[in-house]
Amino acid sequence: MNDDNVLVSAGDLTKVYTTGTLEVPALRGVTMDVRQGEFLSIVGPSGSGKTTLLNLIGALDSITGGQLRVLGRDMRGLSRRQRADLRLTSIGFVFQAYNLVPVLTARENVEFVLELQGAGSERARRAHEVLEDLGLGEYADRRPLEMSGGQQQRVAVARAVASKPRLIVADEPTANLDGENAEILLRMMRRLNAEHGTTFILSTHDPRVVAHTRRVVTLVDGRVHEDREQTPRDVDTALN
């Protein structure tokens, strides 16, 4: 595999949270690569460092030690503004819940991100296109409270992909969804992965999510405990 295809490269990555005099290590030396087009899940028990790793990859937080390159950028020296620029242009986010702006409609939530990117008159068309593409056209003018949790989460995915990012990080995206909605969401993500080559990194406790992913990285106590590939047959077997 060509190194140009590596979107994320972590080497002995550490993250320590400091609360007063107390230091809490969240990551204790994570080494892993994520390549273009992967659909991988990061699993592990609570407190294993899944969300911390996603926050670092998503340029939401600064690293404490080791190395991390995301989309060719060395994350060690990036300022807050540079990290914000990187997120805005190249990374999409899907969070566990409460992730849409409640006072905006589905279409406006999608348009908002495009507006932040400086998109002009084409943003309304693009928002409409994405929502239609993901089967959410009929919800375009609804506000989050007028939609189910599953519909909200699908709009959140639409928002994340609207700006055509190369990488999408999703933190426990199915945690608040029932089985049917989780399945719809995951199939939608897989379709985006397959059709557009968008790279997805999902943190999860949910075996349904794991079953959809080709690669599973297991974190335990801030370290990579296991990093295994699943063949398409494994995935199909698990899903059926």
Partner 1 sequence: MIGRISAKYAFRSLGRHPRRTVLSILGVGIGCALGMIAVAYYGGAAEMQIRAACESGTGHLRIVPDGWTETQENSLRLTDWQAALAAARKTPHLKSAAVRARVNGLLAFGNRTAGVEVLGVLPNVEREANRIVAKSELEGRYLQPGDRGAVVIGKALARRLDVELDDDLMVTLSGQDEMRSAMWRIVGILATGSREIDESICHVLLEELNEVSGFDAAGEIALLLDDHEFIEPAREYLDERLGQRNTVITWKQINRAVAANIEGDTAFINLMSAIVVLVVILGITSAQLAAVLERRKEFAILTAVGLKARHLTGVLMLEALLTGVAGAVAAMLLGGPVAYWIATEGINIGEFFGGEFAMEGVLFDPIIYGDFGPWIILYALSVSVAGTLAAMIYPAWFAVRTNPADALRTV
Size of the site for partner 1 (CB under 8 A): 29
Indicate the residue among 81 and 233 with the shorter CB distance to partner 1: 81
Question: Which residues contact residue 143 at a Cβ distance below 8 angstroms, ignoring those fewer than 6 apart?
Answer: 102, 103, 104, 105, 106
Distances from the Cα of 140 to the Cαs of 104, 108, 143, 147, in angstroms?
Answer: 10, 8, 8, 10
CB-count burial class (<10 Å; 0-12, 13-18, 19+) for 60: middle
Smallest distance from the beta carbon of 41 to partner 1, in angstroms?
19
Indicate the residue among 59 and 209 with the shorter CB distance to partner 1: 59
Which parts of 46-181 are beta strand (E)?
A: 65-70, 73-74, 91-94, 167-171
Q: Which of residues 16, 60, 175, 184 is near partner 1 by CB under 8 A?
A: 60
Smallest distance from the beta carbon of 128 to partner 1, in angstroms?
14
Smallest distance from the beta carbon of 25 to partner 1, in angstroms?
15
Side-chain-facing half-sphere of 57: CA atoms under 13 Å: 33
Tokens 């939530």 belong to which residue? 109
Q: Which of residues 12, 45, 76, 101 is near partner 1 by CB under 8 A?
A: 101
Amino acid at 49: G
Give residues 106-125 in contact with partner 1 (rule: CB under 8 A): 108, 111-113, 115-117
- Give me the residues that bind partner 1 (CB under 8 A), please: 51, 55, 58, 60-61, 80-81, 84, 87-89, 92-93, 95, 98-99, 101-104, 108, 111-113, 115-117, 159-160
